DNA sequence: CATTTACCCTATAATATTTATAGGTTTTAT
DNA sequence: ATAAAACCTATAAATATTATAGGGTAAATG
């Protein structure tokens, strides 16, 4: 399951995507819409900004806005950013690889091989679905 | 990512699958093979037994054994048993459904709809790959 | 140029979950 | 009887997630 952080990130991105006509959106608007703590959401939006998905403007009249096209924000990017690895095991993660301590030989490990296949099929879905797909269905 | 519990369950099932020629396998044999705490593994094997995947024999000469054919142990079954939902959001889980508290209308939620698609594609993989696939690659 | 607004940043507290341990009970073979 | 090995439940320890706090910095406005 996704963490709340990631789920909230998707909510926020959806809201920002739906309000692309306006220059900026307040944290507060989003936090009220979904009943998310303002401060918790703030941290999430900051991470999305650092990742280059959102832009922001300080001061009066400021707020956040989408910097990317919704189609250029794949689900995989958001999940990796807030939740970490998509792979089911550390030993098959592309972005967060770590060997399994209990594993004598990755090459001989059937679990490793199967999980590589699972990872690739999951990635195929998560890299090809994007914020645009969410917005299309709202 | 899968919990260690689930990963260890797969290791144990793999070991048991590889030793189907012998009547029973000791917890200790498995725990030594993978460096898993005996007691921790014990709990896992018990759960697999209660789920009807393993059988056991008490007392001297006892131990665990696979009760199902490896092809009849889909990855999804093991994951659900030890880790819980496969779906990425509670509101799209088939076996552990819960509404999202922040959601006013599931029917109008684009995130919900996309995550249903993601779930179905993930299930398609995890229900069709089984212990047999792991054993084949060992 | 002072004030207000609103994002920026880091640290820490609270809570929940996962991982691991402990210690006894029951069953079975010899 | 004795030893071996699974069974069962509770709880402790460690880790991760969720949430809060409080000040810092930049921009707009009058």
Distance from A70 to chain B by nearest Cα, in Å? 13
pTM higher than 0.75, yes or no?
A: yes
| CA dist., res. B128 & res. A119, Å (int) | 14
CA of B123 to C1' of C20 (A): 31
Q: What is the pLDDT of residues A28-83, one digit of tens each?
A: 999 999 999 999 999 999 999 999 999 999 999 999 999 999 999 999 999 999 99
Give, rounded to a whole angstrom, the gap between the first and last alpha carbons of chain B.
Answer: 22
**pLDDT tens by residue, B102-129:** 998 999 999 999 999 999 999 999 999 9
pLDDT at B37: 96
Listed as ranges, the nucleotides of chain C within 7 A of a protein C-beta are 4-11, 18-23, 26-30
- Rg of chain B's alpha carbons, rounded to an integer? 18
Task: Give the closest-approach CA distance of B36 to chain A in angstroms.
Answer: 8
Residue B88 to residue A1, Cβ atoms within 8 A: yes
- Residue B75, H or E segment: helix B75-83
Measured CA to CA, the distance from residue B9 to residue A134 in angstroms comes to: 35
The predicted model gives B68-79 an average pLDDT of: 97
Give whole-number Cα distances, A67 to A23, A81, B99, in Å.
11, 16, 31
What pLDDT is stored for residue B81 in this prediction? 97
Conformational region of residue B6, where left means phi above 0, alpha means psi within -120 to 50, and beta covers everything else = alpha
Nucleotides of D under 7 A from a protein CB: 3-10, 17-22, 25-29
For residues A73 and A106, is the Cβ–Cβ distance under 8 A?
A: no
Q: What 3 state SS string does A6-68 have?
A: HHHHHHHHHHHHHCCCCCCECHHHHHHHHCCCHHHHHHHHHHHHHCCCEEEECCCCCEEEECC
Asked if the Cβ of residue B35 lies within 7 A of any atom of strand C, the reply is: no
């Amino acid at each position: 399951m996704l963490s709340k952080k990631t789920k909230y990130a998707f909510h926020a991105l959806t809201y920002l995507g739906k309000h692309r006509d306006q220059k900026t959106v307040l944290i507060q608007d989003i936090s009220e819409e979904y009943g998310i703590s303002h401060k918790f959401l703030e941290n999430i939006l900051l991470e999305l900004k650092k990742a280059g998905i959102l832009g922001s403007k300080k001061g009066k009249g400021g707020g956040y806005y989408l910097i990317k096209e919704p189609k250029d924000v794949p689900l995989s990017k958001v999940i990796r950013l807030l939740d970490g690895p998509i792979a089911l095991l550390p030993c098959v993660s592309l972005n967060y690889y770590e060997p399994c301590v209990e594993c004598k030989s990755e090459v001989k490990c059937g679990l490793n091989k199967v999980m590589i296949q699972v990872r690739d099929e999951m990635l195929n879905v998560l890299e090809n679905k994007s914020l645009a797909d969410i917005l299309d269905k709202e």
